[in-house]
Structure 1
């Protein structure tokens, strides 16, 4: 039996709460912060170590250079303490220098006569190079050479920086060797680097603690956003993400809340529409069914009456369905396609079409001379719907006026009639789907969807529908929207 793919099967898609994240965003941010801090401290430590090594080597070489210069001055200008005259014996120069030298810990001096070690350091000296056979053997070629040298020598016992200064007196050759233990010289630097490493570990721990606190507060809106979206269902559309601060996450939370508002309005509107449709369609269906159940097939007059009633109710249902389809189209995402429209031309065109709607005294009150960015077809649809309502709820021969005007960068399109008017208490009712006043029900048949369609169209233009009315005196319906164009 073949297995089902992820997220499919009889149980439906996997819900969000069933998916446990391997790594949270906070964990990733924390890991990135710790990694960057560790790399930065490691690079800083490496640079400090390299600079310390370079500085230490330069100080050692400078010390050896000074020692070599003192030895040369002693050999050329010094006085033999045993004779009071200038030195004539190379070995005596080496001996005198060794006797006068101040030896620091980790340093030592040897005196050579020929290839043999003649003078050794004292027993209490920390560095005894004479006991390192590999070092003594490596020094032999340099002590009989003609040139002094400062070099590094490696043995099994350690690493050394060595200065060798050979000296001849014509009869014999001697040499001064000054040795510095590099391991001992670098001990202070290593101690400093150990302290740096301990400080770095403490710093990383401190950064981790502080960043965890900061990241947790910073990313709290993400957790709240996840919980809010998970809580949304058929029975709860009211959950929102708390908005704190003015950073990017706060803006994201606010944007999500706006999206949830739109989802809630859409779902509630869908529920309301379905309820209204069910209510409106149930009545004609019930009427038709009741008459058919009571129909006497043998009574021709009863059959005719029932047939007429059924056709009327079906016609009313057809009008209702057409209005619902029109309303659905008017609330689509691609409802309007704005373009530059000549308002005067639009006004004249709509006024010409409206005059065919009924026998009324049609009057064009005013025409705006401007160019606005609107949807010509949709505005024509909404404006004619208002004109059709004016005809439906007024008597033949009464006045219906239309017009357009630019007022403070807003485009106004209106229809004024002398019809039955609307009571103040019914103004909110007529704006709802299927909402009709009692006077309107008595005056003419309708579905109560006309103004809903108009408000959907004007809302897509970022505008509003204004209603001014008095019972038995007439009404004025005004479409008000941003012009978005340039007056001529």
Structure 2
């Protein structure tokens, strides 16, 4: 998701990083630190695990070779030497008579491989080493190792592989004690050792290369993550900058929404909130302007007449009093209408209850007879019970009837009716007045909007908005229709409400019109 602030602007460059209040790290830095730490941890664990497994495998191969060496020495010691009395019989064997001979034979039969060394010690002193040690390890040249071997405890446990580290290298070795019965008190040791450092050097070189590659990969991941995190957080920074630029006098800033991710939803929600705030502030400013204008006129009229009042003229006093009371009544109606609109958004603005729509229609007809000299006719009556606020619906319906009286001639017919159609409850009023100009149809439900005829009659322009607010509070709407061609002049206002809680769907239609309001 990419975004730009404001209307009509192209894509803006990424805004600079700003440190949050208190000097803490930015979200981008914290995310980067987390990504780098997790990546470094994963690379380290993987490398350390691989290195440990490779070293363990190398030690296992060394230990296997040392175990075979121990077996070979024990076998040689147990078999004995060839029988001098039967030189022609290779299977004739007798116990060893010389420890030195046994040690020499043990060294000769063990041909050391690369990175392997063999020596024999007698009473802790070097006795034999291989004649050809090409590629082998010269154990006797490592004085620290030879000193350690001279102190080896003579027991079978010494035949177990051990690791010995000296200043020269690190060894993995076995020291096999051997004895000859013919020479009691003389002790020999056959030592087979591998240069563990040399054997593991290849593994360590591989993992040094791995470490270098891992550091390079970590650097690449960090650079890419810095860029990606920056792009991901760009809508958040745009949101922050947009909110900073929003003021009570300028709510036009918006964030362009691209994509369908969570940040796009956030930007869309903020834009919707800004739309609501802009409408609310605009409505508030318009309300204050219009209220000031509407109240200023009657106050100016009253003030002007009071300034010109002749207290000694009783007729002038009575006329001024009547005019002032009339203007005060008009201001009182304006204030009452404003209070109604101000409470329209409250949950308790309407209090629905089961209402007999047919009886409500008759009651509204009776109340409408005092609105003017027009002829009021009920064209259709819905004999159903619906959940509505009877007082608010009566208020809205009478407001529509009052409008019809205001804009139609005395003696003309004003029709009203109620009906159920398409799962909706329709309450309507039709007059025979001049109608509503097409250019004003979309605005007549706006607060303080007055048509040309309404301006002449000094209306405040709040009647129809109150009707719209009552309809909206019921989950419905109010709209305007024109009679079909040939049906005569006038206009039809319809309260379209959800048919909630309807009990009976019957509708009693008057004989005056075959179709109630179309």
TM-score range, shorter chain: 0.7 to 0.9
Report the CA distance shift for 1:153/1:440 in structure 2 as closer, same or farther (over 3 A).
closer
Distance 1:116 1:297 in 2: 144
Equivalent residue for 1:451?
Answer: 464
SS at match of 2:343: helix
> Does residue 67 in structure 1 map to residue 69 in structure 2?
yes
Distance 1:375 1:412 in 2: 15
SS at match of 1:219: helix
Distance 1:160 1:376 in 2: 101
Distance 2:228 2:332 in 1: 63
What's the CA shift for 1:218? Answer: 1.3
Report the CA distance shift for 1:429/1:171 in structure 2 as closer, same or farther (over 3 A).
closer
Equivalent residue for 2:429?
Answer: 415
What's the CA shift for 1:169? Answer: 3.6
1:279-294 correspondence to structure 2 within 5 Å: 279-294=293-308
2:100–2:122 contact (8 Å) kept in structure 1: yes
Structure with bigger RCO (C-alpha 8 Å, 6+ apart): 2
1:398-413 correspondence to structure 2 within 5 Å: 398-407=413-422, 409-413=423-427
What's the CA shift for 1:88? Answer: 4.9
Report the CA distance shift for 1:202/1:371 in structure 2 as closer, same or farther (over 3 A).
farther
* Structure with higher helix content: 1
What's the CA shift for 1:40? Answer: 1.3
Equivalent residue for 1:3?
Answer: none
- Residue deviations 1:320-369 (CA, integer Å, cap 9, x gap): 11111111112x25365686x65x72453354245223255341514275
TM-score relative to the length of structure 2: 0.78
1:6-405 correspondence to structure 2 within 5 Å: 22-75=24-77, 85=90, 88-89=95-96, 90-120=99-129, 127-132=137-142, 135-140=145-150, 144-145=154-155, 149-154=159-164, 157=167, 159-172=170-183, 173-330=187-344, 332-334=345-347, 342=354, 345-346=356-357, 348-349=359-360, 351-359=362-370, 360-363=375-378, 365-367=380-382, 369=384, 378-394=392-408, 395=410, 398-405=413-420
State which of 461, 468, 473 in structure 1 corresponds to 2:481: 468
Deviates more, 1:28-37 or 1:345-354: 345-354
Deviates more, 1:96-105 or 1:159-168: 96-105
Report the CA distance shift for 1:346/1:66 in structure 2 as closer, same or farther (over 3 A).
farther
SS at match of 1:118: strand
Distance 2:19 2:101 in 1: 92
What's the CA shift for 1:137? Answer: 4.7
2:358–2:381 contact (8 Å) kept in structure 1: no
Report the CA distance shift for 1:231/1:71 in structure 2 as closer, same or farther (over 3 A).
same
What's the CA shift for 1:18? Answer: 9.9
CA RMSD of aligned residues (A): 3.6
TM-score relative to the length of structure 1: 0.82
Distance 1:18 1:25 in 2: 9
2:361–2:417 contact (8 Å) kept in structure 1: no
SS at match of 1:53: helix
1:402–1:413 contact (8 Å) kept in structure 2: yes
What's the CA shift for 1:370? Answer: 7.5
1:323–1:449 contact (8 Å) kept in structure 2: yes
Deviates more, 1:33-42 or 1:176-185: 176-185
Deviates more, 1:229-238 or 1:453-462: 453-462
Equivalent residue for 2:496?
Answer: 480
SS at match of 1:238: coil
Unaligned runs of 5+ in 2: 1-17, 505-518
What's the CA shift for 1:87? Answer: 7.4
Equivalent residue for 2:3?
Answer: none
What's the CA shift for 1:241? Answer: 0.3
Report the CA distance shift for 1:109/1:81 in structure 2 as closer, same or farther (over 3 A).
farther
What's the CA shift for 1:92? Answer: 3.0
SS at match of 2:160: strand
What's the CA shift for 1:264? Answer: 0.9
Distance 1:242 1:81 in 2: 102
1:106–1:180 contact (8 Å) kept in structure 2: yes
2:396–2:467 contact (8 Å) kept in structure 1: yes
What's the CA shift for 1:74? Answer: 4.6
SS at match of 1:334: coil
Distance 1:329 1:37 in 2: 57
SS at match of 2:257: coil
Unaligned runs of 5+ in 1: 1-15
What's the CA shift for 1:147? Answer: 6.6
1:323–1:447 contact (8 Å) kept in structure 2: no
2:20–2:26 contact (8 Å) kept in structure 1: no
